[in-house]
Amino acid sequence: MSMVIVNQSQVPELLPMDECIQVMEEVLAGLARGECQLPLRHIMWLPDKRGALGLMPSHWSTAGVIGLKAVTFFPGNEGTELDSHQGAVMLYDADRGTLLAVIDGTSITAVRTAAVSGVATKLLARDDCGHLAIIGSGVQAGVHLQAMLQCRSIDRVTVCSKTFDRAECFAESAAKRHAIPVQAVRSCKEAVQDADIICTTTSAREPVLKGDWLAPGTHINAVGSSVNFARELDGEAVRRSRLFVDRRESALNEAGDFLLAKKEGLVGDDHIVGEIGDVLTGKVNGRESPTDITLFKSVGLAVEDLAAALHVYKKAKETGAGTTVEFGGRRIESD
């Protein structure tokens, strides 16, 4: 049997941000309708906690596919030539279990994470948003800028990072690429002052965004932490916000931003208004007032990787992209 291998450089060509946002809307609505099956991810940490291996299986019944993302997470790679997330997404036919494709997981993760934030921004941010603040200057900062530009008429960007040099480098590159003003600033507080949309895209374990800094009407996409012991937002930021998640079960087990605020007694489980898919399907309301502070807390879902991989696979087959190899799967006859 043959399968398609799609490498890291090919994925962005087959999964442009606008198309990925549409794909994420489709699969998240499907999740809300009960069309998807996914257990909580299994994470095996190295003894010294410097890195981990995550396994994320899922099934999308209406699309007829099952899959698995196997990805390593090494935060110490930040600032090096290697991404913090590396791995592969394996796509299978759900009818007969045939392996259809193996696709680079680094690029899939990067694009689909920002695309889901794009979906949340379309649903929750005010229509008149113009000032975007980005905390962080790595891969997710860059793709989130792309996604936000797809969803709102951004005319100003402020960015801060661990060091001012990193923020300046990001600002210079982003301004040139997107032809919009991007300003590097020295503190998170300065970055988010008067911001309409805030994206936190860091590997921080302690809060980088405080609730006291938030202006009425702000929308926040918090994507940096997907483990229960790390957070980018303090408890006050969570308490002040109308909170939406990608999946309730995942948030209740993995979202450190929410769980640590809950541990501090600032919020309870009922603080979660709903899943983004619930807003897409009309089960819950999104923003109810121009002064609402809305928060989308993302931990990342296996079905998002599955849907993105399916889109990449279909386009690869249509265009001849990727590398087709004979891999196996046929019954081995005994002598």
Range(s) of the chain covered by CATH 3.30.1780.10: 2-109+302-326
Q: Give residue 91's pLDDT band: very low, low, confident or very high (50, 70, 90).
A: very high
Range(s) of the chain covered by CATH 3.40.50.720: 126-297
Q: Tell me the C-alpha distance between 170 and 213, whole Å.
A: 23
Rounded mean pLDDT of the chain? 95
- Region for 194 from its dihedrals, namely left if φ exceeds 0, alpha if ψ lies in -120 to 50, beta otherwise: left
Where does 59-215 have alpha helices with state H? 105-124, 139-151, 164-178, 188-192
| CB contact set of 232 (below 8 Å; sequence gap of 6+) | 135, 200, 202, 204, 207, 208, 209, 222, 224, 225, 257
Q: Give residue 329's pLDDT band: very low, low, confident or very high (50, 70, 90).
A: confident
The whole-number average pLDDT for the span 301-321 is: 97
| CB contact set of 310 (below 8 Å; sequence gap of 6+) | 60, 63, 65, 91
**Residue 335: pLDDT over 60:** no
Where do we find the tokens 């796509």? 91
Strand 323-326 and strand 272-275: pairing? unpaired
Give the model's pLDDT for residue 327.
85
Over its C-alpha atoms, the chain yields an Rg (Å, rounded) of 20
**Residue 268: pLDDT over 60:** yes
What are the φ and ψ backbone dihedral angles of 306, each rounded to 5 degrees? -60, -45
Residue 167 structure tokens:
């923020």
The whole-number average pLDDT for the span 30-55 is: 95
Which fold would CATH assign to domain 126-297?
Rossmann fold (3.40.50)
The whole-number average pLDDT for the span 138-167 is: 97
**Residue 324: pLDDT over 90:** yes
Number of CB atoms found within 10 A of residue 137's CB:
27
Q: What percent of the chain has pLDDT over 90?
A: 91
Q: Is-contact 206 181, C-beta < 8 A?
A: no
Amino acid at residue number 203: S
* Residues 57-79: tens digit of each pLDDT: 999 999 999 999 999 989 888 77
| CB contact set of 139 (below 8 Å; sequence gap of 6+) | 83, 84, 110
Q: Tell me the C-alpha distance between 149 and 143, whole Å.
A: 10
Which fold would CATH assign to domain 2-109+302-326?
ornithine cyclodeaminase, domain 1 (3.30.1780)
Residue 207 structure tokens:
């809060």
- For residue 258, the cross-strand partners are none
Number of CB atoms found within 10 A of residue 94's CB:
14
**Residue 10: pLDDT over 90:** yes
Q: Tell me the C-alpha distance between 60 and 323, whole Å.
A: 25
Length of the chain: 335
The whole-number average pLDDT for the span 206-233 is: 96
Give the model's pLDDT for residue 48.
93
Q: Is-contact 176 260, C-beta < 8 A?
A: no
The whole-number average pLDDT for the span 134-142 is: 96
Q: Tell me the C-alpha distance between 133 and 125, whole Å.
A: 13
What are the φ and ψ backbone dihedral angles of 120, each rounded to 5 degrees? -60, -40
* Residues 153-168: tens digit of each pLDDT: 999 999 999 999 999 9
